[in-house]
Amino acid sequence: MSANNLGSTTVAQIAIVVRNIEQACQRWSQILGQPVPKVIITQPGNEVNMTYRGQPSNAQAKLAFFNLGQVQLELIEPIGEPSTWKEALDKNGESVHHIAFWTEDMQASAQFLKEHGIPLIQRGDMGEGQYAYFDAQQQLGVQIELLERVRKARVE
């Protein structure tokens, strides 16, 4: 990865926070002409080393994914708080939450974003990898999520 970029320009996901994921899945299924996806519940935050604004959080979320060729549409219903999902739903209602990109070097990508005034707001482990949300609302109008398949070190 070049030190002067995000590390990837390939969009992995576009995510929307919703109040009722089952209803949202039905609506999207009808519009997309795809089967209703399975809804999963994330592990509690304390089991995946989740932090929100630098502090441990035990929040969870219900997730559903529509695979749309090159990109996934992710629906997110927050469970508990604090989390970026709950904060966004409370502030903006049902709306786009983030655009996600895969990275091979979370530390370098996070440093690049930090240098551009885009701070880390939430992170957690996902299997061998990790996810991290960055608050790009001011600069880009949406959060950025970075996904790393194999976690080298937890981003902070």
In sequence order, what are the residues at sequence separation of 6 or more whose Cβ sits closer than 8 angstroms to the Cβ of residue 15? 73, 74, 75, 76, 96, 97, 98, 99, 100, 145
| Every domain of the chain and the residues it spans | 11-144
Exposure string of 13-40, with b = 16+ CB inside 10 Å and e = fewer, is bbbbbbeebeebbeebeeeeeeeebeee
The encoded tokens of residue 78 equal 């927050």
Residue 59 C-beta-side C-alpha neighbours within 13 Å:
24
Distance separating alpha carbons of residues 19 and 61, to the nearest angstrom? 11
pLDDT of amino acid 139: 94
pLDDT of amino acid 3: 47
Q: How far from each other are the two terminal CA atoms of the chain, in whole angstroms?
A: 19
Given a cut of 70, the residues of the chain with pLDDT beneath it are 1-4
pLDDT of amino acid 6: 84
Is 11-144 in CATH node 3.20.10.10? no
Reference 146, options 1, 4, 6; nearest CA is 6
pLDDT of amino acid 114: 95
**Conformational region of residue 116, where left means phi above 0, alpha means psi within -120 to 50, and beta covers everything else:** alpha
Whole-model pTM over 0.85: yes
pLDDT of amino acid 1: 43
In sequence order, what are the residues at sequence separation of 6 or more whose Cβ sits closer than 8 angstroms to the Cβ of residue 102? 8, 10, 12, 146, 147, 148, 149
C-alpha dihedral over 135, 136, 137, 140, to 10 degrees?
Answer: -170
